[in-house]
Chains A and B, each alone.
Chain A
Amino acid sequence: MKPVIVVHGGAWAVPDELSKASVDGVKAAARAGFAVLEKGASALDAVEAAVRALEDNPVFDAGHGAVQNTAGEVELDAIIMDGSTLASGAVSSVRNIANPITLARAVMEQTEHAMLTDRGANLFAEKMGLPTVTTEDLVTETERREWERQKSYAVGVKELFNKQWVHDTVGAVALDSHGNVACATSTGGIRHKMVGRVGDSPIIGQGVTEAVKKALKYMGERVQGGGGAIAVCPSGQWAANFTTKRMAWACVDGEALHYGLNPKEEFQEAP
């Protein structure tokens, strides 16, 4: 089985000044994940490694680089899922953890639960001996300035949501040499939801690109929502599509590293 990994750095209007860093970041994460796959390790290990790299990179809104909530704190969400067993682990609203994806994996492997939130999630992190970081460590100078600027606007209850919060999640999907798939997603901003899976029925007989495009189109038409998705299927087919202005993404499939940022872009270089 030829392994594949696809990663994304968030579907949003990435400003020009962050473009290069975003594309470099997803390429590096994809390479890191692929190195894990090449050694014969699992899709689960690969997506965790890729997302950790993105969490550690302050240009993305996950782990380091996360946006602040109205109280100036950083609340992080993450999920990881193992396609072979459907086991899954997630954390929501966890604070001061550098790598929420690793904590999510621990929920999956070390507890009987699928999701822990807030204080309970932090207590578990402590129990697992996961290192904590200060809010200052996680928040960039730019983000601090933006947050200060936003604070001065009158905020009603309906405006709890900051319009500038269009930073998005980071994520990865992978297929390993044993034919197993896995996914991982991590965010500091928009609350991660468990998206109902695009079931077997709608995608039988269709390529994975078609499926992703259809799903994004549906979301746009039905609820006027823009976004992006990456997907991989057990045959090795992969896709990266988005309906926002930009999405930094990269894929390594053993033959090449494919990547892009703007709609319809797909560049290639050596893996």
Chain B
Amino acid sequence: MLPVIVVHGGAGHIPKERAQLSCAGVREAARGGYGILRAGGSAMDAVVEAVTMLENNPAYSAGRGSVLNVKGEVEMDAIVMDGRTLDSGAVSAVRRVANPVQLARLVMEKTKHLCLTAEGASQFARAMGIPEVPEESFITDYARMRWKKNLAPDANPVECEMGKMGTVGAVAVDTEGNVACATSTGGMTNKMEGRVGDTPCIGCGGYADNKVGAVSSTGHGEAIMKVTLSRLILFHMEQGRSAEEASDLGLAYMKKRVQGLGGVVTVDPKGAWAARFSSLQMAWVAVQDEQLHYGLHAGEHFTESAQEQS
């Protein structure tokens, strides 16, 4: 059953013309992460690798391709969590850093803190020798187009919220049974400057505990925060629910209690996994026992060999 990695590219409403891109990127990232696990690498290395690949891919709202805040600028959030020690690192509202997930990991490994924000996060990046990347290199035509569209006074805020591109994330269990999670995002399109969503908030955007499992969330950030979705799902697993049941319970509660939609990828320490969502779509891929599982629309679950097609 071990190792396993599950990756998502955001829960929302993905327009047809972008669906192909969305699925392809997640597949590539899952393969990248699984390669590390197969070679005996750690769950943490695997999830950071998968999320790094998605940050570098402009098709997602994380790193390059991030949605823009109301001023047309990019502010990014990310989190990692190590199930072995419950240690975690996060950055919020960070600018001009190519890979926020890696900076989040450095917060965990090089400081006694769990989260650095904005200017402080940039100072830390500099101290770590991470080069500053020009703002322009993050901004895609697609993100700019959506930003302009949403500036219009009659723009539909719900439509904006569901993010046609999404937050990215991954969970994994390695051959030693350690679990980890990683999540990264550009946030909500046209958000206020300084807006922090669920992603970098421990228990919300992600949580990992070797004794229970790991979760990475995506969807309406404010709703995820109100119910601390990732932690909530793991509480259900602590009460004996399976990864799938717990994920569905958490998402159903969020929908009923605060009218919020989203999606999660979840694993338990034995390798049981789930990719569930209450939104229209979520591009996801899981790799386990050399089998690749994937889907986009509700109810979809395709499988194929994890080996690269030659």
Contacts and interface: CB of A to CB of B under 8 A. Distances in A.
Interface string B214-243: 000000011001111011100110110000
Interface string A202-234: 100000000000000000001100000000000
A86 B227 contact: yes
B93 interface: yes
Given A117-B93, A118-B119, A193-B201, A112 B222 contact: yes
SS class of chain A's interface: helix, strand, loop or mixed? mixed
A118 B203 CA distance: 22
Report the contact-size class of chain B (Cβ under 8 Å from the partner): 35 or more
A112 B113 CA distance: 28
B228 A113 contact: no
Interface stretch (A47-55, A157-165, A254-262): A157-165
A161 B113 contact: yes
Interface string A169-197: 00000000000000000000001011111
A237 interface: no
Contact of A117 (B110, B118, B239, B257): B118
A86 B118 contact: no
B112 interface: yes
A119 B194 contact: yes
A92 B235 contact: no
Interface string B103-143: 00000001111110111100000010000000000000000
A117 to B, nearest CB: 5
Contacts of B227: 86
A108 to B, nearest CB: 10
B204 interface: yes
Interface string A67-104: 00100000100000000011110101100000000000
Interface string B171-196: 00000000000000000000111111
B194 A193 contact: no
13 contacts: A69-B120, A86-B226, A86-B257, A93-B119, A111-B192, A115-B225, A117-B118, A119-B118, A158-B111, A160-B111, A160-B112, A195-B203, A197-B231
The 6 closest A-B pairs by CB, nearest first: A120-B194, A196-B231, A196-B203, A118-B118, A120-B193, A161-B112
Interface of A: 69, 75, 85-88, 90, 92-93, 111-121, 123-124, 157-161, 191, 193-197, 199, 201-202, 222-223
